[in-house]
Structure 1
Amino acid sequence: MYDYFNGKLVSKTPTHVILDVGGIGYHIHISLTTFAQIKEQETCKLYISFQVREDSHTLFGFATEGERHLFNHLISVSGIGPNTGRMMLSSSTPEEIQSAIVNGQVALIQKIKGIGPKTAQRVILELQDKLKKQGEDTLLPISISKQSVPEEALSALIMLGFQKNQVEKVLSSIVQTENNLSVEALIKSALKKL
């Protein structure tokens, strides 16, 4: 139904943005990969995946067509819904996910929260041949946030469904051992420990 929206970023967090397109504000869920690419921008173009469920109509936006394409492949697999697909694209880069699928690396896919061994095997079984035939260009530039990195990471992880006290403990332990991490790196590191 929608291919892309091009507009002004009214607000943005690591999990969603409000994009003003012609005076209409769209609430669009995004991955951490997309956030990394748009967080310094005032306007942007997001490629849209419109998901209709019984109880909701939800927009998911991506900075590149390749990331959207991979997201649509992921959610076509039984057991992976849009939020799990977004979690996958927030835990690893699209290139890493695609490489893990194409090379049959079940363990790498299984490390992502919400993905068990059977689902990881199903992802590889259903998508391996499709992704071998296609190439995606979804490079992820990482940059440092100007806001409080731990606070932004905490907010993003809570929005992704994690418990606040659990996230605070994990983030605290990471920040004590590793300094000067970007929001993306901190969230990815926390996702591996949650």
Structure 2
Amino acid sequence: GFFDESEKILFEKLISVSGIGATTAQIILSSMTPKEIISAIINEDDVSLKRVKGIGAKTAKRVILDLKDKVAKMNIDGISDIPVKTVSPVKDEALAALMALGVVKSKAEVVLSRVMKSNPDIDHVEELIKLALKQM
């Protein structure tokens, strides 16, 4: 399954690119957040896409070429399929700590968002990390 609608939409767009199958699209989505993927496509940042396992220079450029207009059109039409990142120092600190422990950024963000949503009163990093690790 997908964490939210934005991941599903991006998955469908990614598998429409020649050379990107379901497995590769899942790897991309597990390595980068939807916001990071869209930013990389709009800004023609093939370096970010090439960091994903299984994505080489040609595939990264093909993703950018094939999806830039589709992603730009989404923004022009005012469709906000990508959730806006909220600023939370506690969440950011917990994210950095989880990544230092070897957790993939996108997975850590998903789990932290879930924990924050179910426990909005959390104001200590240690407590947030503890709850996040229990959900992994």
Smaller-chain TM-score range? 0.5 to 0.7
Q: Match for residue 132 of structure 1?
A: 72
| Identical columns (%) | 46
Within the candidate set 90, 95, 103, 1:186 is matched to 103
Count of residue correspondences: 95
Summarize the alignment of residues 74-113 of structure 1 with structure 2, pairs less than 5 Å apart: 74-113=14-53
Q: Matches of 2:85 and 2:30 in 1, distance apart? A: 11
Displacement after TM superposition at 1:139 (Å):
5.3
Contact 2:99 2:105 in 1 (8 A): no
Q: Matches of 2:60 and 2:22 in 1, distance apart? A: 16
Summarize the alignment of residues 141-180 of structure 1 with structure 2, pairs less than 5 Å apart: 180=97
Deviation readout 1:34-72 (Å, 9 max, x if unpaired): xxxxxxxxxxxxxxxxxxxxxxxxxxx112111100110
- CA RMSD across the alignment: 2.8
> SS in structure 1 opposite 2:19?
coil
Which protein is richer in strand relative to its size?
1
Which protein is richer in helix relative to its size?
2
Q: Matches of 2:50 and 2:3 in 1, distance apart? A: 25
Contact 1:79 1:119 in 2 (8 A): yes
Q: Say if 1:132 and 1:64 are closer, same or farther in 2 by CA, change over 3 A.
A: same
Contact 1:93 1:140 in 2 (8 A): no
Q: Matches of 2:70 and 2:6 in 1, distance apart? A: 14
Contact 1:74 1:80 in 2 (8 A): yes
Q: Matches of 1:75 and 1:115 in 2, distance apart? A: 13
TM-score by length of 2: 0.60
Higher relative contact order, chain-length normalized (CA < 8 Å, sep 6+): 2
Point out 4+ residue stretches in structure 1 off by more than 4 angstroms: 139-144, 182-185
Q: Which amino acid aligns with 2:38?
A: Q
Q: Matches of 1:138 and 1:183 in 2, distance apart? A: 25
Q: Match for residue 62 of structure 1?
A: 2
Q: Matches of 1:125 and 1:185 in 2, distance apart? A: 32
Deviation readout 1:155-178 (Å, 9 max, x if unpaired): xxxxxxxxxxxxxxxxxxxxxxx9
Q: Which runs of 5+ in 1 are unaligned?
A: 1-60, 145-177, 190-194
